[in-house]
Structure 1
Amino acid sequence: MNAAATGRKLSARQFAVFLTGFCCFINLYSPQAILPMLSGEFGASAAEVSTIITVSTLAVALTAPFTGTVADVLGRKRVIVAAMFLLVVPTLMAGMATSLSELIFWRAVQGLVLPPIFAVTVAYIGDEWPANEATTAAGIYSSGSSLGGFSGRLVTGILADLIGWRAGFEALAAITFAGAIAVAFLLPHERKFVRSKGLLASGRQMLAHFRSAQLVATYAVGFGVLFCFIATFTFVSFYLAAAPYNLSAGWLGAIFVVYLTGSVLTPWSGWAVGRFGRRRFMVKVIALWVAGIALTLAPPLPLIILGLAICAGCGLVCQSISTGYVTITAKAGRSSAVGLYVTCFYGGGSFGAALGGLAWTLGGWPTCVALVAVMLAIMAGIVIFAWARRVPAAPVTAPIEPP
């Protein structure tokens, strides 16, 4: 349970961890609410304009493992703070883009500098907090990430309606810059970090993670989590922007308030895993996720929003459980282990956008729902069969992000 839930004030380093999650994910998915507007602006199809989501997730996937390796050598605070300041540049430039290809380029650059923030922060939490406090720290980070993910979509959506879509990127750049300054002052230098002997040694450590069947299975689950999120929340914007709903960018952004369900549910994930068992609880959450995505096929808008809220909550809980397993299973090179998870996670996001675009083209929203349901069934199968072996009894809940 996080500090907010227990009524305690955040310490300086807890607030710094909150800010890293908030500033990172206020940027990553912010264009989702304005995709229909960008489609009209650049004369592009839904599949084409969704590329601005695909390239950022793909860039994250390609960068993540190397980020962990570099952080194992250079130190974590140094990498986190530098990346936060660098993130300001592509965010500003995205708001100045004059073509879809230019916007796609700067979104890709954004993706390149995000893993040094969130992947390294998760490893920082695992090392710097005692096991009995790490769940609280992870919950605080997750809450910041959830709030950032929602705020990014809301800010861009509202400003797009009031001023224009470019203003959203400019506002996010200013927020990120302020957050970077705060983290530079508030986040303590690591004290329990064991520095790697070199990039080659860290690289060997990273490859060694593939010898763990449990880690590989968890990487596959992570792939499915973001696959489903991107296929859902990217193309539901087009569904709700069209008749009979005709929602504006501002209202589409407001609908992403459903992401905040993750902030409520995630702090309880550790308790639920301890109470019901990791494997059993995970399967139940995935089953509820299937029900949520099916509910979005109901015509009434309130039921669609309820279905999206269920999807968001279940997705973040799954992410919390699987990421927590990575951090406690990797006995050495935790940054690189998390980095590999991030690679698979965001690789899933890229495929979710690409195949989601194909599904949208072939049959609209119902086909997207079917695609997500199939992936969820695959995830459940992996959990049932690959997680059947011994599982740690006291997991650390350290979610990388709200997808």
Structure 2
Amino acid sequence: MSAARKPIMTARQWAVGIAGYFSFINLYSPQAILPLLASEFGTGAAGIATIMTVSTLAVALTAPLTGTVADVLGRKRVIVTAMFILFIPTLMCALATSLNVLIFWRFVQGLVLPPVFAVTLAYIGDEWEPHEVTGIAGIYMSGASLGGFSGRFFTGILSDFFGWRPAMMVIAVSTLAGALAVLILLPREKKFVRSEGLAASGRQMLQHLRNGQLLAIYAAGFGVLFCFILTFTYINFRLAAPPFNLSPTWLGAIFVVYLVGSGLAPTAGWAVGRFGRRNVMITVIGIWIGGILLTLAMPLWLVLLGLVICAACGLICQAIATGFVSITAKAGRSSAVGLYVSCFYAGGAFGAAVGGVAWTIGGWPACVATLVAMMVFIAMIVFFLWTPRIPPAPPLSTADPR
């Protein structure tokens, strides 16, 4: 009798993807309606982009502390608790009566997110074998990209039909459902080694900051989200203006490009195993530069093609970098990933802020020039500082239930 077929996805793999999904559906849900919010609150592109800046900045500020706490308390407990708490600031964003109030609750929302995605990435590094980590990180990134797409897409559609406040309320309620799903599906960690205390975990964090390889990965992560946030924040203002004049529904639909990234992110494990981390990263960054240059075109289909390339390349780079952190850090993975997340989202905050300056100075062409400069910087970091000291992971088996 033939052996039973393995499921395509195990329960814990589903849980990892769901955690990524509901983190990013919350973080990026306002992005497709930024022009609508700017009009309602009487501000410009740089002003309304503050709601993106403060949330990513909050993530950057709290991610390292999240890592040290999770090294003491354990992974699942922190992930599930944070997902339930996330409902509150998301609901309060929907009830905000002024831009300042909205900015405040977006900041609080950002404070709650690191216990979800930073600790999920640490969970991946602990619970899967090293050669599986990049592929599982790809599953997480697929969930994250689907969440990013869903937040923008459904918020855009619901805002057109019912208003942006009901749209945010739907996001809040769905987050509660996601928290319940992770509570049920995610097994308690088995390979987790509890830190001796916050002081010991803090010492591990200092050791990470002395690790040149980790610092190089953190620098690349900074640049990746810098480019992502700048691109998908300010492209909305270009597409909402003449000659495109896209409505919130169509601006949300534009983010279907994330689905391409969702499909390609899990292939990062195979590519790294075959060609090596540095080679894959540098190649993908080169393609990414070509994609962002396409967004300068006038036909909408070329702009969309450029955004597809940007989404796929950004998510692949993120999957490679996060997997590399988990493999490089031999101890205190939560704090190591927490530091990575901090640098990553600091890059996002800077991307939103610097993008506002670039947009004010020269519109979308100035934004593209800024993006190309940052992508060249990432490529140089990877080429010169990502050492081959840690061998690339071998290709995942075709029997792996990804």
**Which TM-score bucket, shorter chain as reference?**
over 0.9
**Contact persistence 1:134–1:396 (CA under 8 A):** no
The 5 A counterparts of 1:102-181 are 102-181=101-180
- Unmatched runs of 5 consecutive residues or more in structure 2: 397-402
Match of 1:192 in 2: 191
Match of 1:220 in 2: 219
- Unmatched runs of 5 consecutive residues or more in structure 1: 1-5, 398-403
Q: Give the percent of matched residue pairs that are identical in Structure 1 and Structure 2.
A: 67
1:239 pairs with 2:238: yes
> Shift of residue 133 of structure 1?
4.1
The one-letter amino acid paired with 2:16 is V
CA distance in 1 between counterparts of 2:203 and 2:243 reads 55
Q: Normalized against structure 2, the TM-score is what?
A: 0.95
> Shift of residue 132 of structure 1?
4.4
RMSD of aligned residue pairs (Cα, Å): 1.5
Match of 2:399 in 1: none
Q: Secondary structure, in 3 states, of the residue corresponding to 2:245?
A: coil
Residues 280/243 of structure 1: CA separation in 2 closer, same or farther (3 Å cut)? same
**Contact persistence 1:68–1:335 (CA under 8 A):** yes
Q: Secondary structure, in 3 states, of the residue corresponding to 2:312?
A: helix
Residues 139/29 of structure 1: CA separation in 2 closer, same or farther (3 Å cut)? same
CA distance in 1 between counterparts of 2:347 and 2:204 reads 23
The 5 A counterparts of 1:290-329 are 290-329=289-328
Q: Secondary structure, in 3 states, of the residue corresponding to 1:196?
A: coil
When structure 1 is superposed on structure 2, of 8-17 and 30-39 the one drifting more is: 8-17
The 5 A counterparts of 1:216-365 are 216-365=215-364
CA distance in 2 between counterparts of 1:332 and 1:391 reads 15
CA distance in 2 between counterparts of 1:268 and 1:389 reads 20
**Contact persistence 1:127–1:193 (CA under 8 A):** yes
Q: Secondary structure, in 3 states, of the residue corresponding to 2:246?
A: coil
Match of 1:400 in 2: none
Residues 95/297 of structure 1: CA separation in 2 closer, same or farther (3 Å cut)? same
> Shift of residue 139 of structure 1?
2.9
CA distance in 2 between counterparts of 1:127 and 1:389 reads 22
> Shift of residue 392 of structure 1?
2.0
**Contact persistence 1:135–1:396 (CA under 8 A):** no
Cα deviation, 1:25-52, whole Å, max 9, x if unaligned, reads 1110110100000010000010000000
CA distance in 2 between counterparts of 1:283 and 1:258 reads 22
Cα deviation, 1:161-215, whole Å, max 9, x if unaligned, reads 0110111110001110011112112211111100000000000100101111111
> Shift of residue 391 of structure 1?
3.5
The one-letter amino acid paired with 2:18 is L
Q: Normalized against structure 1, the TM-score is what?
A: 0.95
The one-letter amino acid paired with 1:59 is A
> Shift of residue 130 of structure 1?
2.7
**Contact persistence 2:37–2:48 (CA under 8 A):** yes
CA distance in 2 between counterparts of 1:87 and 1:155 reads 19
The one-letter amino acid paired with 1:284 is T
Q: Secondary structure, in 3 states, of the residue corresponding to 2:24?
A: helix
Q: Secondary structure, in 3 states, of the residue corresponding to 1:309?
A: helix
The one-letter amino acid paired with 1:180 is A
> Shift of residue 144 of structure 1?
1.3
Residues 189/358 of structure 1: CA separation in 2 closer, same or farther (3 Å cut)? same
Q: Secondary structure, in 3 states, of the residue corresponding to 2:63?
A: helix
CA distance in 2 between counterparts of 1:180 and 1:205 reads 30
> Shift of residue 330 of structure 1?
0.2
CA distance in 2 between counterparts of 1:380 and 1:299 reads 28
1:34 pairs with 2:33: yes
> Shift of residue 393 of structure 1?
2.2
Match of 2:400 in 1: none
The 5 A counterparts of 1:88-107 are 88-107=87-106
The one-letter amino acid paired with 2:170 is A
Residues 364/250 of structure 1: CA separation in 2 closer, same or farther (3 Å cut)? same
The one-letter amino acid paired with 1:222 is G
**Contact persistence 1:295–1:304 (CA under 8 A):** yes
In the alignment of these two chains, the number of paired residues is 392
**Contact persistence 1:328–1:395 (CA under 8 A):** no
1:46 pairs with 2:45: yes
**Contact persistence 1:153–1:253 (CA under 8 A):** yes
**Contact persistence 1:159–1:165 (CA under 8 A):** yes
> Shift of residue 134 of structure 1?
3.6
> Shift of residue 285 of structure 1?
0.7
Cα deviation, 1:346-394, whole Å, max 9, x if unaligned, reads 0001110111000000010000000000001111111111124424221
> Shift of residue 140 of structure 1?
2.5
**Contact persistence 1:70–1:199 (CA under 8 A):** yes
Cα deviation, 1:244-275, whole Å, max 9, x if unaligned, reads 10000111011011111211211111211122
Runs of 4+ in 1 over 4 A off after TM superposition: none
CA distance in 1 between counterparts of 2:137 and 2:236 reads 30
